[in-house]
Homo-oligomer: A and B are copies of this chain.
Amino acid sequence: MSEYRAPLKDMEFVLNHVAEIGKILELNVFGEIDEELVSAILDESAKFTSEVLAPLNQVGDQHGSTCRESVVSTPPGWKEAYQQFIEAGWNGLSFDPEYGGQGLPWLIATSVQEMWHSSNMSFGLCPLLTQGAIRALESHGSENHKATYMSKLISGEWAGTMNLTEAHAGSDLATIRTRAAAEGDHYRITGQKIFITYGEHDLTENIIHFVLARAEDSPEGVRGISLFIVPKYLVNEDGAAGERNDLRCVSLEHKLGIHASPTAVMSYGDNGGAIGYLMGEKNCGLQYMFTMMNLARHAVGVEGLAVAERAYQQAVSYAKQRVQGSVVGTKERVAIINHPDVKRMLMTMKSLTEAMRCVAYYTSGIFDLAARHPDQKVREQNAAILGLLIPVVKGWCAEMGNEVAYVGVQVHGGMGYIEETGAAQYLRDVRITPIYEGTTGIQANDLIGRKILRSKGEEISKLIELIERTCSDSIREKLTCNIFCALDRALVELKHVTRWVLENGEKDPRITAAASVGYLHVLSLTVAGWLMAIAAIECIKLLEEGNSDTEFLNAKLTTVRYFATHIMPRVKAHADGMVDSSEIALELTENQF
A contact residues vs B (CB 8 Å cutoff): 165, 168-172, 174-175, 195, 253-257, 316, 319-320, 323-325, 327-329, 333, 335, 337-347, 350, 402, 406, 409-410, 413-414, 416-420, 424, 427-428, 431-432, 434-436, 439-441, 444-445, 449, 482, 509-511, 513-514, 516-517, 551-552, 554-555, 558-559, 561-562, 565-566, 569-570, 572-574, 576-577, 581-582, 584-588, 590-593
Question: Who on chain B is nearest to A581 by CB?
Answer: B565
| Contacting residues, chain B, for A172 (C-beta < 8 A) | 324-325, 333
Question: Who on chain B is nearest to A317 by CB?
Answer: B593
Cα–Cα distance between A431 and B426 once the two chains are bound (Å): 13
| Contacting residues, chain B, for A417 (C-beta < 8 A) | 255-257, 431-432, 435
- 7 new A-B contacts, CB < 8 A, other than A171-B324, A344-B586, A561-B581, are A170-B413, A172-B325, A255-B419, A409-B435, A482-B581, A552-B592, A569-B576
| Contacting residues, chain B, for A592 (C-beta < 8 A) | 551-552, 554-555, 558
Cα–Cα distance between A328 and B513 once the two chains are bound (Å): 8
| Contacting residues, chain B, for A482 (C-beta < 8 A) | 581
**With A406-B402, A419-B256, A590-B337 as given contacts, are A510 and B342 in contact (CB-CB < 8 Å)?**
no
Question: Who on chain B is nearest to A486 by CB?
Answer: B576
Q: In the complex the two chains form, is A576's CB within 8 Å of B581's CB?
A: no
**With A341-B444, A413-B435, A593-B346 as given contacts, are A170 and B324 in contact (CB-CB < 8 Å)?**
yes
**With A413-B170, A413-B435 as given contacts, are A558 and B584 in contact (CB-CB < 8 Å)?**
yes
| Contacting residues, chain B, for A593 (C-beta < 8 A) | 316, 319-320, 337, 346, 350
| Contacting residues, chain B, for A343 (C-beta < 8 A) | 514, 585-586, 588
Question: Who on chain B is nearest to A510 by CB?
Answer: B340
| Contacting residues, chain B, for A402 (C-beta < 8 A) | 406
Question: Who on chain B is nearest to A174 by CB?
Answer: B325
Q: In the complex the two chains form, is B439's CB within 8 Å of A585's CB?
A: no
Q: In the complex the two chains form, is B418's CB within 8 Å of A435's CB?
A: no
A211 to chain B: closest CB distance in Å? 18
Q: In the complex the two chains form, is B427's CB within 8 Å of A329's CB?
A: no
A-B contact pairs, 26 of them (CB 8 A): A165-B414, A169-B324, A170-B324, A170-B414, A172-B333, A174-B325, A254-B419, A256-B409, A256-B427, A337-B593, A340-B586, A341-B516, A343-B514, A344-B514, A409-B435, A410-B439, A410-B441, A413-B435, A413-B439, A414-B435, A416-B435, A424-B431, A558-B587, A565-B576, A566-B581, A569-B574
